Structure 1
Amino acid sequence: MTAPTTLPPDADTGAGGRAPSPAPGPHIQRMRRLIAAFVAVIAAVTGIFIAITIRVMVNTTGRWAFWLLLPALVLPPVVAGAAAAIGLLTSMRRTDANEDEEMPPERLRRIGAADRIWRTALLVLLGVHTTLVLLAVPLPIIPFYDQVRVAAPVPNILVNYYLVIAVAATAVLSPRGRFLYIVLLAPFLIAGYPAQDGLRLPAEEVMIYLVSSLGNMALLTWLLRQAQALDEADARRRALLIRLRTDASRARARRRADNFIHDRILSVLKVIPTESTETAQLRAGAREALADLDTAAAEPDAPVRSSELLTALTRRLRTIGGDDVVISDSITQDLNLPQEVARALVDAAAEALRNSLTHAAGPDRGPIMRTAALRSDADGITITVSDDGRGFDPEHTGTIRHGVSGSIIARMRDAQGQARIDSSPGAGTTVTLSWNPRTTTAESPTGPCARTDPGAGRAQAAVPTARAPAVAPPLSLTSSMEARTPRIIVVCIVVLYALVTLLEVRAGSYRRLVPVIAGLLAIGLAALALIKRWPAHRMPAREAALVVAAAGGANVLVLFQIDFAGWPGYAAWCLGAGAAVCCGLIARERPRQAWAGLALIIAVIGIWTLNTGREPIIIITLGAGQLFPLLIWHLTARISIDITARTAASEAAGAEITARRRAHQESETLMRQAMTSVRRRVEPLLTAIAEGAPITAGMRTRARMLEAELRDERRAPFFTGTRVIESARAARIRGIDVILLDDRGTGNGLTDDAQEVIIGQAIRALDDARRGQVVIRLLPPRQRPGLLSIVTDNDILTLNENGASAA
């Protein structure tokens, strides 16, 4: 897949000269490579006719130097096509080791070198052709037609290459520059004809080839613009996907940090004030918390097996509950599971056991039986932690406690697993943790959401997901003929054919004028039908059939009016016009009607040739001239759509990889910052406990203060890092019970002035408190005009963003 790029809004829309080079997107890059490859194909086909033309020129003039024109005109596009094909195939090839990896730098360098080669080769081709055209004006290097004694007069070699030059210009020049270049070439090509040919024949020949060139350039330009639109859509999708994945990763990182602090740090700190002396279990908990601080920020990706999970689970539960916990297992299939899933299972089971040790016992109950069981089979992994304690009512307790909502339910949801809690008063509690690899999705949960099922007496977590933005729709040609530029070009083509008709009428090429004019009108009506806006951009089949009939009828009307024998020349302009109409049907995604139209045109050619006594070879010659343009259009359309679809799939995968990597980096950064902050504050106290230091009054006070601060950070992140924390610490030292709550979500959407009001009022309330309790709550946004509530023993105050009372 290609490296991630962002498409600038003005890509492929420059004013003139070469196409702008800064950071083109993958769709437009591959489309240009495809066009460069088609230049080589068209040049190879045209080269056959050029060789015939050069042979005639050499025989007519005796100048063998004309053969040098063949490599000068054919070699650059062939080199360009080979380089473009290498770049195209290399960019579409997946990585050898892992299809989820980005393209290696060596391959990117190879593609870049191939792109430089084909661009340079095509620019050389344009330079060589332009030089020859300009030299042909003052120098009589092209023989005039009366010198050429062949049945079918060969066209001017430089004009015969017009289509190749037009496609090459499309690949390397900007839209305005390419059309301006091709149109400006026309008068110089006409001036390059020998004076003996007069003006009518050169003008007709150049206009006929200009019509074909403009039509092909219009299709290719439209494809490039659609590729640009797809690149812009992919760039927006990539940015949105990165934002979604990063936001979800931040939320998961915060929950991981909260869970770690709750499970490993607070579980030790809240015990210290209650212990009269240090105990072996307290020392073990302190050592475990210090050791886990070193690894909490890491997100290892290496998978583990069910048997390894059992070992880690047993060691963890024994550390918390000792030998009183009965642990059993049933491993019928030793599954591989991601390490983050294994960690979530062990941590959630450990929290379930802590909750049991804290809440299961009661004054009227005897010893509590606690069990843990791990089962691993084809359906996944299931861990159950049970006790026969006093239980609780999920309807009333729900998921209020962080130990249930955060450390168990949300933790399992983040790991793409499930948690179920079955409990009722007096009947014990069972926590079931499960993970099934077959139902695991790549989507990331966005936030905690609990749902209770009163009938079953359990609380369960709903699992919302952050869905990736939709991939840009694949390329479609149905609306191409309705765009402004193709419409203008179609009108110009009809006008050019009208001019050719006028020149042929003045030259007396037709028996009767009315049928010829009718044929021209039929072509014009078919062109109008092609550029008309149809519902859903889809041309109806009946109208497409009428277009085919118009193309065939126009050829009948015009060909049978030609009033001379032999080669029809440009009096048979209706053949090219009919083929152009068939190409328009290809653009309208009506290929069957397009090929039916071509078959009808060839049938008319055959009937007309045999009916007028002309050589049968004319059927092949004229038919091939119409077959190749339609074949090129059909192949261009089909291959373009296929390459675009493959590019879209590749870009979607690349965007997902980039988003996951960015989210992973963001998660690690947040976790590292959180763990560094926690370690700085709790390490001295936990180290002393782990080394067996006696618990002093100062240590108990320090533990209470640290526990309160860490809970503040989890429950009220808006106040973290502000002066409110210092005032809360001072108030707690004075014996004030301080509770900080943030129900707004880190103050999202608040102005700087509103934040200053909140912080100032909170500090004032804390500093003024002398006894009792102070509850400071940042209100949810839906509770406007209220912004902040302060509840003390003596008063309840609600403030708005101006700091005034909202009551």
Structure 2
Amino acid sequence: MTTVREDDGVTTLLGFRSPAAWVVVVVNVLGVIVSTAWTLDGIRQPAVVAVALVLHAASVVLLVRVPGDPLPFRTTAFITLYGPLASALVLFVLPVPIDNPLQPWPTTAAVGVYTFLCVRGRTPWAWAGLVAIFAVTITWSTLTGQGPLTGFLIVLPNVALVLMGSFFAYALRTPVADIFRLRLAGTRQAADQAASRAVLDERDAQLTRLDVLARPLLSRIASGEPLSDEERIRCQLLEHHLRDSVRAKGLDIDEVHSAAREARSRGVDVLLFDDRGETDTTVHRDIVAAVIDALHGSASSVTVRLRPGDQDVAASIVVTTADGVEHWEFDRSGTRLSS
């Protein structure tokens, strides 16, 4: 049988996850309880019947509410064993001959559960449970002197239900699994397309930004005329700006760029690094403020490094002044640690 995702498959299609499924569970259990109440005449130990009812209720709840497609092994084993066990509990406390044809109710109730066990992708287990119920019922009828045929005929009409569940599972489960697989593939394709569009949009934005920043100077250089000292400085500042945008994406902030440009214009050696990778692009505002303060200071060099996410220190700033070197570190909350 084809395996699909835990939250998909026939169970989703039939609404097993919906509130209506609880209504079905309650109606089924109450119906079995009410019908069983009319079959207690002549039963020697009614408490045993109550145990069988509890087993039935637990099986129905597990069948509907436990996720997974096909149904998980432990749940499947419990539901399969419930049928012959409940049948044995009830049959061996019934009067012989039975007073009411509804008294061997576990044989019918369990087979109803087995029908949906087929739908949950466990058809062989459903048939195994039915065979076990046949064995228990025939054994009971034989030991009580009624003959094996009596027990066989009690269970025989229920074979049609398991046959119906098997056909339903065969006819529906594979197409439904294919439908959900195609839906999952479509979702993944849409996500890939969205990611590709985002990459293209980012590329276009960067090209537009580069065009605005670099085109005037590139046009000036292409003219062939010698550059003035001011224009050479502008080229150097633009080079640093573009380098910062590549190797310090987390600091690709207008305020930081402005402060770095001003510092470099004063002759400060500014180095910005982001070692965190592409997935982490946010920086705590207190760290950004500290970087801007360092760039606005009277340093001769400023080196800023954003650390990888697996380290306790989020960022470090090394500032060189005429009085010496200062080393600042910041944790993930933006709090400045001891220098």
Normalised by the size of structure 2, how large is the TM-score?
Answer: 0.66
Partner in structure 2 of residue 695 of structure 1: 226
1:30 and 2:13 aligned: yes
2:131 pairs with one of 579, 591, 596: 596
* 1:583 to partner: Cα distance: 3.2
Superposed, 1:709-724 pairs within 5 Å as: 709-724=241-256
Instruction: Summarize the Cα distance change of 1:559–1:584 in structure 2 as closer, same or farther, 3 Å threshold.
Output: farther
2:307 counterpart residue number: 780
Give how far 1:797 is off: 1.6
CA contact (8 A) 1:774 1:791 kept: yes
- Cross-structure match for 2:65: none
Q: Tell me the distance in 2 between the aligned counterparts of 1:650 and 1:740.
A: 46
Aligned equivalents of 1:803 and 1:557: distance in 2?
A: 77
Cα–Cα, structure 1 residues 797 and 775, in superposed 2: closer, same or farther, change >3 Å?
A: same
Q: CA deviation at 1:713?
A: 1.5
**Map 1:204-283 → 2, pairs under 5 A:** 217-218=24-25
Q: In structure 2, which of residues 225, 236, 241 is the aligned counterpart of residue 704 of structure 1? A: 236
Q: CA RMSD in A?
A: 4.8
Aligned partners of 1:774 and 1:790 also within 8 Å: yes
Provide closer, same or farther for how the CA distance between residues 751 and 703 of structure 1 changes in structure 2, counting only shifts above 3 A: closer
Q: How big is each residue's C-alpha offset from its partner over 1:357-376, in whole Å with a ceiling of 9 and x where there is no partner?
A: xxxxxxxxxxxxxxxxxxxx
- Partner letter of residue 729 of structure 1? R
Instruction: Give the secondary-structure state (helix, strand or coil) at the position aligned to 1:539.
Output: helix
Give, in whole Å, the separation in 2 of the partners of 1:592 and 1:27: 20
CA distance in 1, matches of 2:83, 2:10: 33
Q: Quote the residue 2:37 is aligned against.
A: 499
Once residues 288 and 10 of structure 2 are traced to their aligned partners in structure 1, the CA distance between those partners, rounded to angstroms, is: 46
CA contact (8 A) 2:244 2:272 kept: yes
**2:260: which partner in 1?**
728
User: In the alignment, does 2:210 pair up with 1:672?
Assistant: no
Tell me by how many angstroms 1:790 deviates.
2.0
Equivalent residues in 2 for 1:575-724, closer than 5 Å: 576-585=105-114, 589=122, 590-597=125-132, 599=134, 626-635=158-167, 642=174, 645-690=177-222, 692-698=223-229, 699-724=231-256
Change (3 A) 1:648 1:559: farther
- Residue type of the partner of 1:498? T
Shift of residue 638 of structure 1? 6.0
Give a deviation string over 1:32-91, Cα, whole Å, max 9, x none. Answer: 5xx9xxxxxxxxxxxxxxxxxxxxxxxxxxxxxxxxxxxxxxxxxxxxxxxxxxxxxxxx
- The equivalent residue for 1:752 is 285
- Please state how far the C-alpha of 1:678 moved relative to its aligned partner: 0.7
Cα distance between partner residues in 2 of 1:30 and 1:719: 49
Q: Is the 8 A contact 1:789 1:796 kept in 2?
A: yes
AA paired with 2:91?
A
How far is the alpha carbon of 1:558 from its aligned partner? 5.3
Alpha-carbon distance between aligned partners in 2 of 1:550 and 1:777, rounded to the nearest angstrom:
77
Q: 1:543 to 1:717 in 2, by over 3 A?
A: closer
Whole-Å Cα distance in 2 between the matches of residues 524 and 631 of structure 1?
29
Q: State the partner residue of 1:140.
A: none
Shift of 1:27: 6.6
Task: Tell me how far apart the structure 1 counterparts of residues 314 and 182 of structure 2 sit (CA, whole Å).
Answer: 49
Residues 674, 696 of structure 1: alpha-carbon distance in 2 compared, 3 angstrom cutoff: same
Instruction: Assess if the C-alpha contact under 8 Å between 2:317 and 2:327 holds in 1.
Output: yes
Whole-angstrom CA distance in 2 between matches of 1:788 and 1:722 = 19
Letter paired with 1:778: R
Asked if the contact 1:736/1:774 (under 8 Å) is kept, the reply is: yes
Distance 1:705 1:718, change over 3 A: same
Alpha-carbon displacement from aligned partner over 1:133-180 (angstroms, at most 9, x marks no partner): xxxxxxxxxxxxxxxxxxxxxxxxxxxxxxxxxxxxx99x8456xx4x
CA distance in 1: counterparts of 2:312 and 2:324, whole angstroms = 20
Q: 2:91 aligns with which of 532, 538, 554?
A: 554
Native 8 Å contact 1:555 1:578 kept in 2: no
Matches within 5 A, 1:116-135: none
Deviation at 1:26, TM superposition (A): 8.4
Alpha-carbon distance change, 648 to 753 in structure 1, aligned in 2, over 3 angstroms: same
| Equivalent pair of 2:126/2:162 in contact (CA under 8 Å) | no
Q: Distance in 1 between matches of 2:106 and 2:337?
A: 80
Deviation at 1:651, TM superposition (A): 3.6
1:763 to 274, 295, 299: 295
Aligned counterparts of 1:734 and 1:174: Cα–Cα separation in 2: 73
SS where residue 777 of structure 1 aligns?
A: strand
Structure 1 spans left out of the alignment, 5+ residues: 1-6, 8-24, 36-169, 180-216, 219-484, 506-512, 563-570, 613-618
Alignment partner of 1:741 out of 273, 294, 318: 273
Alignment-derived partner of residue 113 in structure 1? none
Question: Any unmatched runs of 5+ in structure 2?
Answer: 1-6, 63-71
The letter for the 1-side match of 2:14 is M
**Residues 774, 793 of structure 1: 8 Å contact kept:** no
Kindly tell me: are residues 785 and 494 of structure 1, through their superposed partners in 2, closer, same or farther at Cα, counting changes over 3 Å?
closer
1:575: Cα distance to partner?
A: 5.0
Distance 1:542 1:175 in 2: 21
CA contact (8 A) 1:598 1:626 kept: no
Q: Aligned partners of 1:629 and 1:697: how far apart in 2? A: 93
TM-score when scaled to structure 1?
0.31
Output the amino acid matched with 1:592: W
Tell me the distance in 2 between the aligned counterparts of 1:630 and 1:558. Answer: 28
1:386-397 matches, cutoff 5 A:
none
| One-letter code aligned to 1:774 | S
Q: Describe the shift of the 1:779–1:789 C-alpha distance in structure 2 as closer, same or farther (beyond 3 A).
A: farther
Q: Equivalent residues in 2 for 1:159-198 (5 A)?
A: 174-175=20-21, 179=23
1:367-516 aligned within 5 A = 489-490=28-29, 492-502=30-40, 505=41, 513=42, 516=43
**Inter-partner Cα distance in structure 2 for 1:554 and 1:804:** 77
Cα deviation 1:656-699 (Å, max 9, x = unaligned): 11220121121112111111111111112223444x52332355
For 1:797, what is the secondary structure of its paired residue?
strand
CA contact (8 A) 1:27 1:644 kept: yes
Given that 2:263 and 2:270 are in contact with CA atoms closer than 8 Å, whether structure 1 keeps it comes out as yes
Letter in 2 for 1:701: I
| Contact 1:558–1:572 (Cα < 8 Å) also in 2 | no
1:735-759 C-alpha deviation (Å, 9 max, x unpaired): 4433233345698564433432332
The count of aligned residue pairs is 302
Identity within the alignment, %: 18
One-letter amino acid of the structure 2 residue matched with residue 497 of structure 1: S
Asked if the contact 1:786/1:806 (under 8 Å) is kept, the reply is no
SS at match of 2:102: helix
SS of equivalent to 1:573: coil
**What displacement does 1:805 show?**
7.2
Q: Deviations over 1:265-311 (max 9, x none)?
A: xxxxxxxxxxxxxxxxxxxxxxxxxxxxxxxxxxxxxxxxxxxxxxx
Query: Which amino acid in 2 is paired with 1:574?
Result: Q
